[in-house]
Structure 1
Amino acid sequence: MRYSILFLLPLLLLSCNTVQDTADTAHQTAPDTAAIVPGHFSGGLSDYWYEGKAEINTYDLEQIRYGEIHPGQVNLIFVSEDFLTDKQVKNDNYTNPASTPVLKTNMIRRFTTGIYDYSVMTSTFTPTKTDEQPHSLKVTTSMQDWCGQTFTQLNYAGGKKWDSQLRSYFEREADQNQRLAADFIEDEVFNRIRSGWDKLPTGSFDIIPATGYLLMTHKPYEAAKATVSLQDYTGDQFTAEKLKSYSIHYEGLDRKVEFVFDAAAPYILRGWTETYPSRGKKLTTVARLSHQIRAPYWSQNSVADREKRRTLGLGL
């Protein structure tokens, strides 16, 4: 254990970053794609993720909605914490032995559409002890706009299956509970990248598309066949040196997503693009990294801390 129990106890109520165990550092060698099972999470995390801080990123956003591109902003927060594998919730009390360290992604996307605004938040929980827990365990996404709210949750149920919940104010969706089969879920790509690009699966297999995309487009909750590739980045949207590109192409949905990130650890995500039809037009969402800090944000909640938002390009 990185921290003793006595040192952890006073921090449990103050921090969402109280991981007890670490994983091995991810390699930067070329992948042996034939040995990578799409649904099995692999790779590892370096000490970068176990220093009592979260990595907080701000992205400038150009978002597809209603057949147009709308301005916005994304906050992408990575933090390690302990997670209960039976209840699939954060380990708060440390009385349940069914606990494992995870890398958690919180992505908060805000954009305006004319007079009103949208807020979409996705949280993904991926174990770092991949020999014990090779699958991401949970994804939740909520969406709020001036029309109403929707919420979805995926829980890993074993055997390439996820239990799915959908709660929507739209009549054609309403309340749904079902079990989905898939090799892979798109929402875990962020965590997979941060654990080492050499462990990313490639090829053709079934993927559950990003839950935020499913909520916004009202697509059926089901996996779709996709072709996945990993290569050096050759585009012109992102300009950092030695970049890699991880692309998912859903032929049946006419949708393509590309994630662009540093080839060197800690594999910072420089941005992503998402292309699909909207009201008869093929458009592209783009998110570009503009600010990044590492900080224990959960302890920076006083009025005096508001000025720190400037370091993330956020309004006061």
Structure 2
Amino acid sequence: MRTVTVGTRQSALALTQTNQVIEQLKLLAGNAGIECRFEIKKIVTRGDQILDVTLSKVGGKGLFVKEIEQALLDGTIDMAVHSMKDMPWERQEGLAIGGTPVREDPRDCLITRGGVALADLPGGARVGTSSLRRAAQLLAFRPDLNIESIRGNIDSRLRKLETEGFDAIVLAAAGLHRMGWKDRISEYLSPDICIPTVAQGALGIECRADDTFMLDLLGKFEHADTVLAVTAERQFLGRLNGGCQIPIGAHVTVRDNPAGGRLLEMTAVVGSPDGSRLIKEWGQGSDPVKLGDLLADKLIAQGADRIIAELGG
């Protein structure tokens, strides 16, 4: 029986989603007659250590994955459970995404004191978010809001809503769903108002590229529509060379194609941090790579590359 060591960040959400993945892998392994047991190794990343400034000011890519990927390369862990939105476009040589399970709800959501909706927040309301993408789109919709930075894990940010005088905070719905905290959500933000970040709600299960045992096991954990959507969104991100210092988002839905196969519909946005300029586009296609490139090219034609250059992207 092989022991599989699973690397993860040590937040409550990271541990919860890692345990959920492990339970599903146990079932898949059992059904396939594969004998293995799992143990968890907690790893502190640079992104977890720096909490006093926004991620856009920290700079760099892979703030929440580099140390975990190094542990994979060193052989101290055998697989890692990542939030795909944290993974940079450039892949680490020697590693592979072996499995991508079904995606959770990719939308952002609003948590307010008293359950107030976004449209009903009073002028000047203090809204906490660490994301330039969220801030830009919220200000484009409600320029009268006071957007302030808030860092920390989702449980600590929920506490800050009560203890630091915020009227609202914005979080990824997926994290609250996985934690069993749907009842805390005041409103799901439509992509018409706030397009999610690339790959939000999706998990990527990473292993070494030469580990055939893990690749075989994780390959049973692949959700085809999630792979299509995430591939298109990440291709868009890579074409624009975007990172957390850029207000950039993309959202893909997948449905039956009348001509056969699957049809992908994608909306994407690049904007200025103050929300004064948002460039949005829509497109559809059956090839996720071509669709990601198409949306990037459409935004570049309208000046998205200049916005990214100005912000140091």
Normalised to the residue count of structure 2, the TM-score between the two structures is: 0.27
Question: Higher relative contact order by CA 8 Å / sep ≥ 6: 1 or 2?
Answer: 2
